[in-house]
Structure 1
Amino acid sequence: MPRQVDYEDRRRQIAEAVCTLIARSGLEAVSLRDVATEANVSMGAVQRCFRTKEDMLLSALEHISQHVSGRAEQRIAAAASPEAAATLLAHTLTELALLDEESKTLAHVWLAFATRASAGDKVAAVLHDTYAKLHDLITWLIRYGQDTGEVPRSFDPDGEADTLLALADGLTVHVLAGHHTPAAALNILRRHLAHLLPDAPEDA
């Protein structure tokens, strides 16, 4: 009997191949043929999973959006015991800024989609949903810090979340552009957190 194909796994495999190609050559260089080669599948297999190139690109964006959100959520879930808000917030923002070497591909792909988005299109809608989830997560962490007494009640959680998310995003761009090293970007992040959380860990 022919081997059963796990289409969800195949779609994920293709999405990862798309992300690799985008990081290597940019969005416009992605073709069905190159994706099939990178994913080590036939062009027919790609076409059975995705009707159009746009569908394929959107799937890759959703894949990477889930990965970006998941990094932060996994950091919180992996805590062996309830951690201080300073620790959780510092570590979460470090994950979101994609500053380490192994995050470079992820950062390139995220920026490629962000620059492609225009108001009202499907790419922008996926990005909007992802940023909304990340904003809610950071807001929750700040409120947690207010409950533990680490963050002053005078701070507006929504406003601070906007600032921190924009800072993390901006540092991603600065590192990719070579304006800052990952270490310098991390220091900028720590300095900003110091005004919000004086006890933020030095090793975040």
Structure 2
Amino acid sequence: MPKQVDHDQRRRQIAEAVWRLAIRGGLEDVTLRQVAAEAKVSARLLQYYFGTRDQLLLGALEILNDDAERRARERLATLGEAPGMHALVRGVLLELLPLDEERRNRHLVYAAYFVPFLTDPALVKVARDTPHAMEELVAALITQGQELGQVSHDLDAAAEAAFLVAGADGLQTTVLLGKRTPEEAVALIDHQLVRIFALTTRD
């Protein structure tokens, strides 16, 4: 009887090879042949699952993003049934920080995508056209906080969300570089959230 192939698992096997190469030396010069060797599959099989090099990089990134979203939902679920907007915004922002090995490795991979997204013509447009999903989520939570009386109506939810996400992104880099500890980064996030949620006590 022919051996059944788990195609999702095979795609993940190849994506994880991309991530390992990204962490070890970046992605600017990574080739399909290198990824195939790292994943222990043939170049033909790699192309069957992902196609071109650019499609491979984007496909591996999509799998990484799906993993990040799943783990974020799991962590947010631990906040309880009714955690409040303060706790939810905080939980979302902490996903942007390398607070454990899983998130640190993920953010190292994201960092490796930075140069290709700036310089590769096929990837520049993809990066530019990506929606501001994280900002929109945080803005929606802050707006809900305003509706619940937990945030002042004088605050601009979209502007605050953009500032918080940009700040968390910047903190992420300083933690990866060892310029700040994870605890210091979390304290700075908390400092900003106290300002925004000043109408209520911390959840």
Is this a same-fold pair by TM over 0.5?
yes
| SS of equivalent residue, structure 1 residue 98 | coil
2:19 matched residue in structure 1 = 19
* Partner Cα separation in structure 1 for residue 115 and residue 21 of structure 2: 16
1:5 matched residue in structure 2 = 5
1:170 matched residue in structure 2 = 170
2:110 matched residue in structure 1 = 110
* Partner Cα separation in structure 2 for residue 139 and residue 71 of structure 1: 21
Is 1:145 equivalent to 2:153 in the alignment? no
Please report the RMSD computed on the Cα atoms of aligned residues, expressed in angstroms.
Answer: 2.5
Q: Quote how far apart the aligned CAs of 1:122 are.
A: 4.7
Distance change (3 Å), C-alpha of 1:182 and 1:55? same
Distance change (3 Å), C-alpha of 1:129 and 1:62? farther
CA contact (8 A) 1:15 1:63 kept: yes
Matched to 2:22, the amino acid is I
Distance change (3 Å), C-alpha of 1:145 and 1:64? same
Residue-pair matches, total:
201
1:42 matched residue in structure 2 = 42
* Partner Cα separation in structure 2 for residue 18 and residue 67 of structure 1: 15
The unaligned stretches of length 5 or more in structure 1 are: none
1:1-204 matches, cutoff 5 A = 1-77=1-77, 79-118=79-118, 121-127=121-127, 132-198=132-198, 199-200=201-202
| SS of equivalent residue, structure 1 residue 187 | helix
Matched to 2:97, the amino acid is A
CA contact (8 A) 1:113 1:123 kept: no
* Partner Cα separation in structure 2 for residue 144 and residue 72 of structure 1: 20
Matched to 2:165, the amino acid is L
* Partner Cα separation in structure 2 for residue 45 and residue 180 of structure 1: 42
Q: Percent identity?
A: 38
Matched to 2:186, the amino acid is L
CA contact (8 A) 1:72 1:96 kept: no
Distance change (3 Å), C-alpha of 1:131 and 1:149? same
CA contact (8 A) 2:12 2:63 kept: yes
Q: Quote how far apart the aligned CAs of 1:66 are.
A: 2.9
Query: 99-108 or 123-132: which moved more?
Result: 123-132
Provide TM-score, normalisation by structure 1.
0.84
CA contact (8 A) 1:17 1:38 kept: yes
* Partner Cα separation in structure 2 for residue 190 and residue 40 of structure 1: 44
CA contact (8 A) 2:64 2:106 kept: yes
